[in-house]
Amino acid sequence: MTQLIIDCDPGIDDALALMLAASSPDVDIVAVTTVTGNRPVEIAAGNARRILDLSGMAGVPVYAGAALPIDRDQARCNLVHGEDGLGGVDLGPAMAIEPGSAVLRIVELLTRHPEHSLTLAAIGPLTNLALAERTSPGVLRRLKQLLIMGGALHRRGNITPAAEFNVYADPTAAKIVLEAGARIVLFPLDVTEQAVMSAEWIGALSNLDTACGRAAGLMLQAYAARDPLLHDVCPIAYLLDRSLFQVQRCGITVECGPGAMEGKTIATFIGPLDDADAQPSILAAMSVRATALLDAVHAAFARLP
């Protein structure tokens, strides 16, 4: 059983990632923490709550975290997922989220649980994780695995020519986290741009005729026209079946700007997979068996309410 924290900014692909995690009998979602990213953190937290409730996960606590990037006084949100973050799909009012800060909750969970027992999937800007690392240096090294959707190694960015959105939204945080020495598996645009949804596949989710299938179908109607990619689903899918992905070992640094390169992720070296002593050492997913991924996600959704 994987004990999992999900740090997210729902976001439609975040919503699908939460649903995918909820579908698995092998995953115990310990907590969901939210951060300002696609939308401001209060909206993200409410959306996470709604999606978990829809997925039969009403017992999973949701915490709100950082409202602003680490060293900026303005958030860099986007409207790719609509004003409400869920493509205008009305999932009803959100139940209350937990009191207290997501950052302190992450620190507390990682400190309380035995070393290398918790896995964390970070699918929004990395502000909460960087603040956790600053609050308690070394805390991210206690993770069994830190799965991150972010960056673009050999690809053009998707928010600027140089940068991918999650890194651009808080480059300082990304640098702190990627250089923290944690056991990171990164899912950059290089791999997530291979995870393309087709209209037929979206239709098949809707046709499941379940609450989650219908919600996913509606959310994806508008989103897929803009960005038909299962970005945030990739780290969760890796957790469920590593064989879907091909990874390589590399060092990564982040350009913190300002300027045209701000938020760019740069692979400082690419080394053999077994060279675990190379530092900082990150596994980066570079390709995915896309058809198998889509089939696996569809099968998982068939298990959801």
Does 147 contact Ca ion by CB under 5 A? Answer: no
231 is catalytic: yes
Taking CA atoms, 150 is separated from 34, 59, 96, 304, in Å, by 16, 28, 29, 27
- For residue 286, which of 193, 201, 202, 164 has the smallest C-alpha distance? 193
Does 164 contact ligand BDR by CB under 6 A? Answer: yes
Distance CA 32, CA 67 (A): 16
How are beta strands 62-64 and 27-34 bridged, if at all?
Answer: parallel
Does 38 contact ligand BDR by CB under 6 A? Answer: yes
Smallest distance from ligand BDR to CB 85, Å: 9
Does 158 contact ligand BDR by CB under 6 A? Answer: yes
225-244: which residues touch Ca ion (CB under 5 A)? Answer: 232
> 207-226 mask for ligand BDR (x: CB under 6 A)?
--------------------
Q: How many residues does the chain have?
A: 305
Among 69, 124, 217, 251, interactor with Ca ion by CB under 5 A = 124
What residue number has its CB nearest to ligand BDR? 165
Query: Is the bond leading into 11 cis (omega within 30 degrees of zero)?
Result: yes
* 3-class secondary-structure state, position 175: helix
Q: How many chain residues touch ligand BDR (CB under 6 A)? A: 15
- HSE of 194 in the Cβ direction (CA atoms, 13 Å)? 19
> 170-209 mask for ligand BDR (x: CB under 6 A)?
----------------------------------------
Among 32, 97, 107, 123, interactor with Ca ion by CB under 5 A = 123
| Closest to ligand BDR by CB, 190 or 232 | 232
66-125: which residues touch ligand BDR (CB under 6 A)? Answer: 78, 80, 123-124
Distance CA 32, CA 70 (A): 20
Distance CA 90, CA 225 (A): 19
Smallest distance from ligand BDR to CB 246, Å: 20
Does 47 contact ligand BDR by CB under 6 A? Answer: no
Distance CA 285, CA 235 (A): 9
Q: Please give the helix or strand (H or E) that residue 4 lies within, else none.
A: strand 2-8
* 3-class secondary-structure state, position 7: strand
Taking CA atoms, 22 is separated from 17, 199, 277, in Å, by 9, 24, 34
Smallest distance from Ca ion to CB 249, Å: 25
For the chain, the farthest-separated pair of C-alpha atoms sits apart, in whole angstroms, at 50
Does 166 contact ligand BDR by CB under 6 A? Answer: yes
| Closest to ligand BDR by CB, 97 or 169 | 169
Smallest distance from ligand BDR to CB 63, Å: 18
Q: Which residues bind ligand BDR (CB under 6 A)?
A: 11, 13-14, 38, 78, 80, 123-124, 149, 158, 164-166, 231-232
> Catalytic residue positions?
231
